Amino acid sequence: VLFQIMELCGATRLGYFGRSQFYIALKLVAVAQSGLPLRMESLNTVKDLPLPRFVVSKNEQESRHTALYSSDADNAASYSGVIPPPPGRIQVKKGSVSHDAVQQRTSTDQQESTSPVVSPQQSPPTSPHTWRKHNRHPSGGNNERPLAGPGPFWAPFSEAQPGSSTSSDPIWSGHSPPPHQENWVSFADTPPTSALLAMHPASVQDQTTVRTVASATTTNEIRRQSSSYDDPWKITDEQRQYYVNQFKTIQPDLNGFIPGSAAKEFFTKSKLPILELSHIWELSDFDKDGALTLDEFCAAFHLVVARKNGYDLPEKLPESLMPKLIDLEDSTEVGEQTGEVGYSSSPAEAPPSKSPSMPSLNQTWPELNQSSEQWETFSERSSSSQTLTQFDSNIAPADPDTAIVHPVPIRMTPSKIHMQEMELKRTGSDHANPTSPLLVKPPDLPEENKISSSVKFTAGNTVTDGYSSSDSYASDPEQIGSTVTRQRSHSGTSPDNAAPPPPPPRPHPSHSRSSSLDMNRSFSVTPGPQQAGVVAYPPAVPPRPQPSQGAGPHVHRPVDAEGLIAHTSTSPQQIPEQPNFADFSQFEAFAVSGVNKEEEDEIETHSEVLQVEKPSDSASSLRVAKADGRVEDKAPANVPTSAGKGTTPLAPPPKPIRRRLKSEDELRPEAEEHTQKTGVIAAVLASQPSIPRSVGKDKKAIQASIRRNKETNTVLARLNSELQQQLKDVLEERISLEVQLEQLRPFSHL
């Protein structure tokens, strides 16, 4: 029947569905639907044919359809009429290609009726053309009329083609494409849908091709009609203005973006289901950047409006809604136009070939767009991938399992070890507060602490390690490692001791160490004195010009820390390790004499001070002290220093102690030493102020410091041994914990 109609309306003659053809075809469809014989005369005689029933739906469509026939304006009306039923049509369409065409029309009609945007574009001529194709190719691209319908229409068409089972199917199955086109015109008419149904029998490809053709035709018609909405998806000026105003309310800068979250809230207000909003977003966020530009926003808004009016969402963004991206436009236009052109040029023969091309065009077009967008967004992607990596690292810490995993790498770096120590201390000690402040401190601090701790262990090194470890530490605030971690850190640091001297320019590590010292202090009570001393040290950080002076600062730091267990983790920056070392030992001695608790308190304050101080030496020494404190539970990593510290419990004069503390910081991992150090630190700190004064007496101070350093050395040596013992114990504990972790990992690793 359809074919008959097509022939009758002369479409075959023309080779395309001109407007008149379309109208005629529609009329014929109506005629056929009403059971009248298809004859040209019937068109004339049956003027008041009911509108072809393209879609099962709307009688009003029929009436509209007739109106359409009467005038093009009516077409608009019919379109509008069609628009409402698109959804219904869509379902009907499932059966046929013609549905597609019809749907497009109907959607256009509906659009018109529902919104001013509706473009009465049903340029019949083009639609008939497309019709034909549609009939053959259900998919037909009524892209031209990217009415909400077309998209969905097409989809259902292609899917439902084989199974068009709408009522109109029987009617349309025999119809030639032209009727479909007619339907197009009279979108409101159900016939189009039925025609579409007939199309269904056609290949699915045809559908797509038809669709494209239809779209082409529709666009032509649209252009021709130049109605308010040539393109069902086109945005009228009023609408556009409204959209722009809405955009402004969200984002004053018209050239700016609306972030995804804001857009989400905004569109959620439209009360559409999330799934549809998600689809709208996918369609409209052209560059896939998670934000909407003005064009994208208008497109999205328009889609929302269309959807609320009953239009189905298209599979692909309608051309008129494409954001005005230059490269995209070209590609899209090209794609569209080629499709259209192809169709219109050889409707009869082309359809089959076109169909494959059209679909490909349709596909390529979005691909082109996407690819161009991808080019544009490539950097974004890459950045996103980078962020992905970072993200993952961020995630890791949050994940307790990963947190556990993290300590492992941390272990490698002194700072990590330091952190672990801190954590251990944290967990181990009651001084949650001290630790927490430290923990809370900016990652730098922990890093620094770690670094300092690491530095402590190794006379100068690991500043980097410290940082890295601190990074891990920062990322794993939860590292509890407890003793295990601490041990690990200690062990880590001890090896670090062997590392080369810490790079001079690393004030931070010392600071971090100071903070870590605080942590340590809080953790380890034993090294208290030392640590306190150490801790005190960093804050003091007074000038550390010369080794002797350097010792001073070290001492100073512990002094400052007084309560803080300044891990006399010699700051890596301490260049003059030796003097620091000496100081450290002194400090240790000092610390030993000190009180652990005090150290801890001091450490806290000290850590803060430490951060301020930066004197690498002092910081390091303090850190070491802290580390020592921390290490108390663990084997002494920086045994040497710690030992030194331990051996010089307050014995050395404050000044030397301070200096030694610094070195001790680097060295002292042991708790005992820490305690010593704290004492030393306190003493050192006390003496620190005097250190500057002693500047004048450098020589004397140097000699004195030498003596003290030696004493400190012995103390530290002792402390070192003790710490090593602790370290062994801690290592054992850690091993056991790791085993447990391994056992638990399969369950919690995710």
Partner 1 sequence: LLLLSVICSPQNYPLYIRSVPTENELKFHYTVHTSLDVVDEKISAMGKALVDQRELYLGLLYPTEDYKVYGYVTNSKVKFVMVVDSSNTALRDNEIRSMFRKLHNSYTDIMCNPFYNPGDRIHSRAFDNMVNSMMMQVC
Does residue 385 touch partner 1 according to CB under 8 A? Answer: yes
Q: Give the HSE-up count for residue 570: Cα atoms under 13 Å, Cβ half-sphere.
A: 57
Nearer to partner 1, 174 or 409 (CB): 409
Among positions 254, 388, 440, 744, the unique one binding partner 1 when judged by CB under 8 A: 388
Neighbours of 269 (CB within 10 A): 9
Alpha-carbon distance values, 15 to 177, 351, 726, 747 (Å): 12, 11, 95, 69
Does residue 375 touch partner 1 according to CB under 8 A? Answer: no
Neighbours of 395 (CB within 10 A): 12
Nearer to partner 1, 20 or 374 (CB): 374
Does residue 471 touch partner 1 according to CB under 8 A? Answer: no
Contact 692, 550 (CB under 8 A): no
Does residue 540 touch partner 1 according to CB under 8 A? Answer: no
Alpha-carbon distance values, 660 to 131, 545, 632, 676 (Å): 94, 15, 19, 12
Among positions 74, 315, 632, 711, the unique one binding partner 1 when judged by CB under 8 A: 315
Nearer to partner 1, 285 or 562 (CB): 285
x/- site string to partner 1, residues 349 to 368, per CB under 8 A?
Answer: --------------x-----
Nearer to partner 1, 408 or 695 (CB): 408
Does residue 282 touch partner 1 according to CB under 8 A? Answer: yes
Does residue 277 touch partner 1 according to CB under 8 A? Answer: yes
CA 468/CA 451 separation, integer angstroms: 8
Does residue 749 touch partner 1 according to CB under 8 A? Answer: yes
Does residue 746 touch partner 1 according to CB under 8 A? Answer: yes
Q: Could you give the angle at which helices 671-687 and 577-593 cross, rounded to 10 degrees?
A: 100
Does residue 290 touch partner 1 according to CB under 8 A? Answer: yes
Nearer to partner 1, 41 or 282 (CB): 282
Does residue 260 touch partner 1 according to CB under 8 A? Answer: yes
Using CB under 8 A, count the residues that bind partner 1.
Answer: 34
Nearer to partner 1, 204 or 589 (CB): 204
Does residue 404 touch partner 1 according to CB under 8 A? Answer: no
Nearer to partner 1, 45 or 261 (CB): 261
CA 275/CA 269 separation, integer angstroms: 14
- The helix/strand/coil state of 54 is strand
Among positions 70, 353, 389, 736, the unique one binding partner 1 when judged by CB under 8 A: 389
Does residue 392 touch partner 1 according to CB under 8 A? Answer: yes
- The helix/strand/coil state of 53 is strand
Structure tokens, 161: 């083609």
Among positions 144, 230, 289, 444, the unique one binding partner 1 when judged by CB under 8 A: 289
Nearer to partner 1, 260 or 503 (CB): 260
Amino acid symbol at 589: A
Among positions 45, 71, 261, 736, the unique one binding partner 1 when judged by CB under 8 A: 261
Does residue 279 touch partner 1 according to CB under 8 A? Answer: yes
Does residue 224 touch partner 1 according to CB under 8 A? Answer: no
x/- site string to partner 1, residues 43 to 62, per CB under 8 A?
Answer: --------------------
Does residue 748 touch partner 1 according to CB under 8 A? Answer: no
Helices and strands of the chain, counted as H and E runs? 38, 2
Nearer to partner 1, 158 or 676 (CB): 158
Burial string for 180-215 (b: 16+ CB within 10 Å, else e) reads bbbbbbbbbbbbbbbbbbbbbbbbbbbbbbbbbbbb
Nearer to partner 1, 22 or 267 (CB): 267
Provide the minimum distance between the beta carbon of 214 and partner 1 in the complex, in angstroms, as a whole number: 20
Structure tokens, 75: 């077409």
Does residue 275 touch partner 1 according to CB under 8 A? Answer: yes
Provide the minimum distance between the beta carbon of 410 and partner 1 in the complex, in angstroms, as a whole number: 13
CA 269 distance to own-chain centroid? 24
CA 641/CA 616 separation, integer angstroms: 16
Contact 671, 525 (CB under 8 A): yes
Does residue 70 touch partner 1 according to CB under 8 A? Answer: no
Query: E strand or H helix at 258, and its extent?
Result: strand 258-259
Among positions 35, 269, 696, 750, the unique one binding partner 1 when judged by CB under 8 A: 750
CA 92/CA 106 separation, integer angstroms: 12
Does residue 440 touch partner 1 according to CB under 8 A? Answer: no
Contact 651, 733 (CB under 8 A): no
Nearer to partner 1, 409 or 543 (CB): 409
Does residue 263 touch partner 1 according to CB under 8 A? Answer: yes
Does residue 319 touch partner 1 according to CB under 8 A? Answer: no
Parallel, antiparallel, or unpaired for β 291-292 and 258-259?
antiparallel
H helical segments located in 406-527: 407-412, 414-428, 432-440, 444-457, 463-475, 482-498, 507-523
Amino acid symbol at 722: E
Does residue 719 touch partner 1 according to CB under 8 A? Answer: no
Instruction: Enumerate binding residues for partner 1 (CB under 8 A).
Output: 260-261, 263-264, 267, 274-275, 277-279, 281-283, 285, 288-290, 315, 363, 374, 381, 384-385, 388-389, 391-392, 395, 405, 409, 745-746, 749-750
